[in-house]
A and B are shown apart, each in its own frame.
Chain A
């Protein structure tokens, strides 16, 4: 069993995935806001109980590493470190950049599209700023580094999108400011906010695919991905 945890932004998400059956067993995505620390593991316990499972059934952990709120990212990563040390057998662990999870549902559609499509996943970084990354349609397993992410205001974001030559699918939890500045960009399709939600089921799926490729991380090397210095 794999437990996927994500508290990188106000939207938190948890999933339990059966690695043997390759099946998503449970998923919960909710607005945790400032309650991430209170909610995360109590909710994980409830999800396991719902499935008649207990923590020792967990053999793998997946977590989002950032970008996102610095504190939020550290909450799930710290929890993962504790879980990793507390399980009877050390679990397989993997860290996935936050925006990979947002982009994950769109790769198959994008790769079948008659013309080239770039997937742009973004999140609201606070104070009117956004973080984003650009994914080629075949880059499902790409894990961008800090340098391969971008940050800026709505206007700067729109400017960057305007410079992309291909069609763009824009996915994430947008606000009116962003919707406004991309409205007149003909090559940009802004996906609806529900489909743009970051869901831990997708995090679990990515983790499963990475693990099938034999690329787990060490518990110690799962660390936040920061786009800014302190």
Chain B
């Protein structure tokens, strides 16, 4: 039996979890800072770092307690996100994890945050089928506030990036459109809420790069955001009240629909092109209900198993870091991680090769 304590502080959530045998959650604690950052309309790095150092110890203690463990020393390893993310935020988790490893003598495993999101689909959760042990090859769509990437996964720790966003990440586009429509922060839930009563057919927005062979697996969302901005200006010129809740709802619905459409179509295209056995969607934006339902319809039609984490594992959490550490720590991919490791704010996903 392997029990890993995982710590995640790459952005604005202070999180710790204990994961047993890679897939089974013994505890999963997340202290969110959303309210603190909402008045800035985005994550304020220094505020995030200050909050992490306040929260880190109680969050770790709670994770150990809720796992029913008497002490850190009852664990087998410490795992921590060392990148990508905000440097000042990462430093709090990494140094706390190092302190734990130093004092307890437990091995310290450095985990890539993106790999964490990928492995959020491997965690056991109630009311969902577990992903089979041999799930490969699989297509992974990582879609969050900082990342939009299509990845071909051929084995544990074996990734090939097929494409990524050329500009804004999908989550970033949600934040920007939410700001534009004065819906608040974070943008994902705010746009979804507003779109609930929207008419999806009233406005049609462009589907960036959907018919573009040169960028078959790449994304671009900054143009879509501009299209929303232009549409709002146009409507204003036509004398529309752009604060009218129905109008805002219709715009939000059109935007959300365009994003979900592009994400699902490109993922389906990649799934067909590489003949994969399953499709995984993960990252904060995978909590979006329209994206989830669009993907479910699409992959049911294609008779491909689709895995999307339950909502509580879509946003940043430490459970996924523990799971990634467990699979990453298998002998074939093990790396020596010592107390000298540093934070890597721009860490990419490890690559086995790019698409030729």
Contacts and interface: CB of A to CB of B under 8 A. Distances in A.
Contact of B56 (A38, A78, A83, A230): A78
Given A78-B56, A224-B50, A70 B100 contact: no
Contact of B99 (A39, A79, A226): A79
Given A75-B95, A78-B91, A83 B49 contact: no
A224 to B, nearest CB: 6
Given A78-B95, A82-B96, A71 B102 contact: no
A81 B102 contact: no
Nearest to B53: A74
Contacts of A77: 53
A82 B338 contact: no
B340 to A, nearest CB: 5
Contacts of B348: none
A58 interface: yes
A87 B57 CA distance: 14
A52 B66 CA distance: 36
A224 B53 contact: yes
Q: From DSSP, what is the main secondary structure of chain A's interface residues?
A: helix
Contact of A74 (B49, B60, B73, B100): B49
A126 interface: no
Contact of B88 (A71, A82, A83, A87): A71
Interface in B45-102: 46-47, 49-50, 52-54, 56-58, 60-61, 64, 71-73, 87-88, 91-102
A179 interface: no
Interface string A82-95: 11111110000000
B98 A82 contact: yes
A81 B104 contact: no
Contact of A86 (B49, B58, B101, B341): B101
Nearest to B58: A220
B103 A55 contact: yes
Contacts of A42: 338-340
A199 B73 CA distance: 32
B91 A71 contact: yes
Nearest to B50: A230
B44 interface: yes
Contacts of A71: 49, 87-88, 91
Contacts of B94: 37, 78
B343 interface: yes
Given A38-B341, A230-B47, A74 B103 contact: no
A12 to B, nearest CB: 13
B105 interface: yes
A37 B343 contact: yes
Given A37-B343, A82-B95, A85-B61, 11 more contacts: A35-B342, A40-B95, A45-B339, A78-B95, A82-B102, A85-B72, A86-B72, A86-B99, A86-B100, A86-B106, A88-B73
A-B pairs, top 9 by smallest CB distance, nearest first, are A82-B99, A86-B103, A78-B95, A230-B46, A82-B96, A86-B104, A83-B99, A86-B100, A42-B339
Interface of B: 44, 46-47, 49-50, 52-54, 56-58, 60-61, 64, 71-73, 87-88, 91-106, 338-343
12 contacts: A41-B98, A41-B99, A55-B104, A55-B105, A58-B103, A74-B88, A78-B92, A81-B56, A82-B96, A82-B101, A85-B72, A220-B57
